[in-house]
């Protein structure tokens, strides 16, 4: 499949994404429920508006399912591995943004308190 050049737009309606991807709108709605990568914005009238990254995710998922013959579960697993790998490459191991350090420490302490409560005998 040749890579399609996406139009330079901020948002795409479901019909446009359906045409670009070559799949029916109901398939897009199903994929949205299965894959966390696809999160279209919802208008006040509940209309889906897909961003460019959503459309790219749709095209990637279609390729995995239709061309590479992944199952839904297999595609989810592969996408999760790819996402985790990319995240690890972006930040050095052990890197924490100093702006968030206090919030992380507070959260960690609160979680440790919850674990201690859960470990208490009834």
Instruction: Return the bridge partners of 42, or none.
Output: 48
Distance between CA 91 and CA 100 in Å, rounded? 15
For the domain made up of 12-92, the CATH class stated in words is mainly alpha
Would the pLDDT of 96 be above 80? no
Residues 61-72 pLDDT 10s: 999 999 999 999
Which pLDDT score is estimated for 87? 58
Average pLDDT over residues 93-109: 75
- Tokens found for residue 49: 């508006």
Give the whole-number percent of the chain exceeding pLDDT 90: 56
Residues 34-65 pLDDT 10s: 999 999 999 999 999 999 999 999 999 999 99
- Tokens found for residue 21: 């991807």
Is the model's pTM score more than 0.75? no
Sequence spans of domains, the chain? 12-92
CB atoms near residue 28 (< 10 Å):
23
């Amino acid at each position: 499949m040749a890579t399609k050049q996406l139009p330079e737009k901020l948002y795409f309606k479901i019909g446009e994404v359906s045409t670009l991807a070559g799949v029916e709108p109901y398939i897009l709605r199903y994929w949205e429920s299965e894959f966390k990568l696809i999160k279209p914005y919802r208008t006040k009238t509940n209309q889906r508006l897909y961003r460019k990254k959503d459309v790219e995710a749709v095209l990637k998922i279609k390729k995995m399912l239709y061309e590479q013959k992944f199952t839904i579960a297999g595609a989810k697993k592969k996408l999760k591995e790819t996402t985790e790998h990319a995240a690890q490459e972006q930040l050095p191991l052990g890197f924490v943004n100093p702006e968030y350090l206090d919030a992380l420490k507070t959260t960690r302490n609160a979680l440790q308190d919850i674990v201690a409560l859960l470990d208490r005998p009834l």
